[in-house]
Amino acid sequence: MRVASKIEVSAFHRPEPLDLCLDIWMQWQRRNDMGLGWRGRAALYEGESAADSEQLYDNMDSNAAEAVEAVMGGLPRHLDWAIRRRCGIATVWRFPNLDFAQALAEAEGELKKKLKNNIATRNFFV
């Protein structure tokens, strides 16, 4: 007779809201740009109500990524670069007089504060 053994399951770890926003932004940064632009007459006949749920989620992700990009554009250059370096978008730290770890901590704090107030990203912080 076999006895069922216990299966250990780790507790659910909810990702940080800032990490979720940055993951969406990184995917948006690395997207294929070939499908952008006017899609011909098909765009004239499609309505927002006809969109499937996958397209709606893609639109929400795009809005969140664009919000992250806009917020980062308002940060001082060294903070913007620190986030880009953290996410692998920028490969070199171009501010040798500044400590990367300190700049990153400051950048994450500023970004988190601004994304909490943005309409496209504030739901991640609830």
DSSP letter assigned to residue 29: H
Q: What is the pLDDT of residue 87?
A: 94
Which tokens in the block code for residue 50? 């006809």
Identify the pLDDT of residue 47: 57
For the chain of 126 residues, list the mean pLDDT of each consecutive stretch of 10: 79 89 94 65 54 82 95 95 93 91 96 95 92
pTM: 0.76
